[in-house]
Amino acid sequence: MNEFQTWVTPLNNIVTETTLTGWKIEYEHFDCNSDTLACLLYTLFQENWHQVGLGHIEQGSVLELEFHEAPKKCVLYDGYLTIIANDWHFHLCIEENFGGPNSETPIELRQQRLINKGAFYRRLNPEGTPKTWGIQLWNGAGEQAMTIFLPNPYVEDENLLPEGKANFTKLELYHELRDIYVLGKKSIPFDKNPLKCPYIAVCTSGRCYPSRNWQPIFEALKSALTKAKLNIDVRTSGCLEVCQLGPVVYHSVDRTWYTRVKPEVAEIIVNEHLVQGNKVTQHIYPPDSV
C-alpha cells in the first residue's frame, strides 16, 4: 500500500483548446491518483456542496445538477464513489473496480472505468477574459466522465449579474483548490484518505428476499460494535452483489463479504473478525476466498 502523500507534485501540464466560436478552454492537469482525487472530491461534495454543481457537457447537451442540502451519503465501495443527494445520486469510479466478491470486471474494463485524468479549467471568451471555472474528469477510455462546476463570479441565483458587478470573491474556492492540487503551493488538508474510513455495510436490496430482513442484523452489528468500543461505522447499502444469499454484510477494510448473516452471526463477525482479526469462515463469500 502506498503511503499517503500530503503534497502533490505539479504536472506543469497546461492544454488550451479553441472552440469553433472563438472561445478557449484552458486545462491545467493534476495528478489523479486515488488518494489525491478522494481528498479533492471529499472537499467538494462533503465540505463545499453548497458551492458546487456537477454534470456533463457535450455539444448540444448540458446536464447540470446542484445540491440543495448536504449529501445523505458519501461512500466508497468496490472502487466507486457514491454520492446520494435528496433527489438524485451518482457513481464515479476513482479506484479499481474489481466487480464484487468474484472479481468479475475484466482488467481492460477496470482500466477504462477508472478516472485517470483530471484538470482545472477556465473558459475564456474571444477577448481572453475567463468566464467560467470548473474541474473536468476523464476515464481511462479518454471519455469525459464528469464536469464539476465551481462558483462563477458573474452569476448569482442562476442570473447573470449586471456589467461591472461581478463578485470575484466567489473564486476563492477555485484558487484555494488550485493552489493545493495543481500548483502544489499548499498541502492537502488531510493526513489520510477521507473516503477510507472503515465501515461495515448491510445489504437492504429488495431484489434479494432474505435481505429484506436486514434491520435485526443492522442493530446487532451496532450493538456489538458499541460493546467492543470500536469506531467503525455501520451503514445500509444497496445490492452487495451476492444476490439470494442474504442477509449480506460487507467489511470495507479488507473487502470481505459475509452471507446468510443472522443477528448472532453479526455479533460473532464483530468479536472475531473486527476485534481479533479472524474471519468467520463459515459465512464468507466466496467460500474459497479465505
Task: Give per-residue pLDDT as tens, 50-95.
Answer: 999 999 998 899 999 999 999 999 999 999 999 999 999 999 999 9
Q: Tally the residues of the chain.
A: 290
pLDDT band of residue 269 (cuts 50, 70, 90) is: very high
Q: Which residues contact 65 (CB under 8 A, 6 or more apart)?
A: 53, 54, 55, 85, 88, 90
Instruction: Please tell me whether the overall predicted TM-score, pTM, comes out greater than 0.85 for this model.
Output: yes
Q: Which residue has the cell 472561445?
A: 23
Distances in Å between the Cα of 21 and the Cα atoms of 18, 125, 127, 135, 151 are: 8, 9, 12, 21, 23
pLDDT of residue 257: 96
| 199-289 shares the fold of 14-181 | no
Express each pLDDT in 95-139 by its tens digit.
Answer: 999 999 999 999 999 999 999 999 999 999 999 999 999 999 999
Element (H, E) at 170: none
Residue 223 has pLDDT above 90, yes or no: yes
**For a pLDDT cut of 70, what percent of the chain falls above it?**
99
* Predicted pLDDT at 1: 56
The Cβ of residue 247 has, within 10 Å, a number of other Cβ atoms equal to 27
Q: How far apart are CA 238 and CA 99, in angstroms?
A: 15
Average pLDDT over residues 141-145: 96
- To which residue does cell 455501520 refer? 234
Query: Average pLDDT, stretch 238-258?
Result: 91
Q: CA–CA separation, 122 vs 27, rounded Å?
A: 7
- Per the prediction, the chain carries an average pLDDT of 94
Enter the C-alpha cell of residue 48: 463545499
Which CATH number applies to 14-181: 3.20.20.70, 3.40.50.620, 3.40.50.1000, 3.40.1570.10?
3.40.1570.10
Q: In the chain, where are the structural domains located? A: 14-181, 199-289
pLDDT score of 290 more than 80: no
> Which pLDDT does position 205 carry in this prediction?
84
Q: How many CA atoms lie within 13 A of 209 on its CB side?
A: 0
Question: Mean pLDDT over residues 214-234, rounded?
Answer: 95
As a dihedral over the C-alpha atoms of residue 148, residue 150, residue 155, residue 160, rounded to 10 degrees, the angle is -40
Indicate the helix (H) or strand (E) that contains 118.
Answer: strand 115-124
State residue 67's pLDDT score. Answer: 95
- Report yes or no: 95 and 79 within 8 Å, Cβ to Cβ: yes
Q: Indicate the fold that domain 199-289 takes in CATH.
A: Glutaredoxin (3.40.30)
